[in-house]
Structure 1
Amino acid sequence: MTITTHAQHWLFDLDDTLHHAGAAVFPMINEYMTRYICHYVGVGRTEADRLRTDYWARYGATLAGLQRHHGIAPQHFLKQTHPMESLLPLIETGTQLPLWLKRLPGRKWVFSNGPQHYVEAIVRHLGIETQIEGCFGMDSFGFTPKPRVAAYTSVLRQAGIHAGNCIMVEDSAANLKTAKRLGMRTAWLSHQCRKPSWVDWRITSLFDLQRI
Structure 2
Amino acid sequence: MTNQPSPARFSHVTDWVFDLDNTLYPHHSNLFSQIDVKMTSYVEQLLELDREAARSLQKELYRDYGTTLNGLMERYDIDPDDFLEKVHDIDYSWLEPDPRLGAAIRALPGRKFIFTNGDRGHAERAARQLGVLDNFDDIFDIVAADLLPKPAAATYDRFTALHRVAGEKAAMFEDLARNLTVPKKLGMTTVLVVPNNFEPTFSEIWEQDVEQEDDVDYVTDDLATFLETVIGA
User: Structures share a fold, TM > 0.5?
Assistant: yes
Residue 135 to residue 64, structure 1, CA distance change in 2 (3 Å): same
Partner of 2:53: 47
Cα drift, residue 94 of structure 1: 4.2
SS in 2 for 1:196: helix
Distance 2:27 2:193 in 1: 14
Distance 2:42 2:126 in 1: 22
Give the structure, 1 or 2, with the largest relative contact order (CA under 8 Å, sep 6 or more): 2
Q: Name structure 2 gaps, 5 residues minimum.
A: 1-6, 199-209
Distance 1:29 1:58 in 2: 19
Q: Percent identity, please.
A: 30
Partner of 2:26: 20
Partner of 2:135: 131
**What is the TM-score when the length of structure 1 is the normalising length?**
0.90
Cα drift, residue 182 of structure 1: 2.0
Which one-letter code corresponds to 1:49 in the other structure? R
Q: Is the 8 A contact 1:14 1:112 kept in 2?
A: yes
Partner residue of 1:32 out of 35, 38, 49: 38
Partner of 1:184: 188
Cα drift, residue 40 of structure 1: 1.6
2:113 aligned with 1:109, yes or no? yes
Which one-letter code corresponds to 1:129 in the other structure? L
**What is the TM-score when the length of structure 2 is the normalising length?**
0.83
Distance 1:210 1:128 in 2: 15
Partner of 2:125: 121
Cα drift, residue 197 of structure 1: 1.6
CA shift digits 1:120-179 (9 cap, x unpaired)? 221222222221010111111111111111111111122122222211111111111121
Distance 1:66 1:54 in 2: 11
Q: Is the 8 A contact 2:120 2:140 kept in 1?
A: yes
Which one-letter code corresponds to 2:96 in the other structure? E
Cα drift, residue 23 of structure 1: 4.3
2:216 aligned with 1:199, yes or no? yes
CA RMSD after TM alignment: 2.1
Q: Is the 8 A contact 1:12 1:110 kept in 2?
A: yes
Q: Is the 8 A contact 2:115 2:141 kept in 1?
A: yes
CA shift digits 1:50-96 (9 cap, x unpaired)? 1111111112111111011111111110101111xx32111111431
SS in 1 for 2:161: helix
Q: Is the 8 A contact 1:3 1:209 kept in 2?
A: no
Cα drift, residue 183 of structure 1: 2.0
Partner residue of 2:73 out of 63, 67, 79: 67
